[in-house]
Amino acid sequence: MADLLTANKNDNVTLVDALDKVLEKGVVINGDIMIRVADVDLVYLGLRLILTSVSKAEELSGKSFSNPDKEFTPDDIAYIQKLQREIKKAEENIPKLIDLGSPKKTEQGLAQLVLTLLELIRKLMEKEAFRRVKRGSLSQAEVQKLGLSLKAVKKKIQEVQAIFGIKDEDLNLDLGPLGNLM
C-alpha cells in the first residue's frame, strides 16, 4: 500500500494535488487540536512595511529642474558611449554564461534575494524616470543618458542572474495575501 498515491491513479497524479487538497480543503471540525499550517502572514507583514516606505519616498520625489533644450556635452557623449559598451559587454556575456551550464547553485538562494531587491529598486527608479520622461521636462541628451543607464543596470542584473542560474520569474517574492512583490 506504500504506493497508493501513485498506484491507484493512472492519470498524472502528482504529490502537489494531494498537498493542495489535504492542506487547503476538506472538512474542518473542532477537535482538541487543530494543527494550523501555512501560517506565514507575520513574515510578510515586515516586508510590507519596508515596501510602503519605499513607494512613499518615490511618490514624494517627483520634481525635475532640468532644462529640456540642453545640448549633449562631450562628457555626455563619453558617458553614453561607456554605457553602450557596458550594455554590449553584458549582452555578449550572458549567453556565454548560460552555455557554461554550471550556475553557482550553492549561493543561489542568497543571490536570488539580493537580486530581487535590486530588481525592485531598479523598477522603482525606472518608474520615476518614466514619469519624468513623460512630463517632457528632460532634454533629449538626458533622456538618452537615463535610458542607457537603466538599460545598463538591467543588463548587469541579467548577467548576475546568468552567473547564478536565476530565472526572471525567480526575481520575485510571494507576499502571500498581498500577492507578489512585483
Binding stretches for another protein (CB under 8 A): 1, 4-5, 8-9, 11-40, 80, 84, 87, 126, 129-130, 133, 140, 143-148, 150-151, 169, 174
Q: Identify which of 45, 47, 52, 62 has the alpha carbon closest to the alpha carbon of residue 135.
A: 62
Identify which of residues 63 and 167 has a Cβ nearer to another protein in the complex: 167
Q: Minimum Å distance from CB 88 to another protein?
A: 10
Q: How many whole angstroms separate alpha carbon 142 and alpha carbon 136?
A: 11
CA angle 91, 96, 102 (to 5 degrees): 130
Identify which of residues 17 and 53 has a Cβ nearer to another protein in the complex: 17
Q: Minimum Å distance from CB 16 to another protein?
A: 5
Q: Minimum Å distance from CB 36 to another protein?
A: 6
Identify which of residues 53 and 170 has a Cβ nearer to another protein in the complex: 170
Q: Identify which of 74, 80, 156, 73 has the alpha carbon closest to the alpha carbon of residue 118.
A: 156
Identify which of residues 33 and 49 has a Cβ nearer to another protein in the complex: 33
Q: How many whole angstroms separate alpha carbon 60 and alpha carbon 28?
A: 47
Q: How many whole angstroms separate alpha carbon 115 and alpha carbon 136?
A: 31
Q: Minimum Å distance from CB 48 to another protein?
A: 19
Q: How many whole angstroms separate alpha carbon 58 and alpha carbon 36?
A: 38
| DSSP codes of every residue in 96-123 | HHHHH----GGGHHHHHHHHHHHHHHHH
Q: Minimum Å distance from CB 45 to another protein?
A: 15
Identify which of residues 39 and 69 has a Cβ nearer to another protein in the complex: 39
Q: Minimum Å distance from CB 163 to another protein?
A: 21
Identify which of residues 13 and 54 has a Cβ nearer to another protein in the complex: 13
- Classify residue 142 as exposed, middle or buried by CB count within 10 Å of its CB (0-12, 13-18, 19+): buried
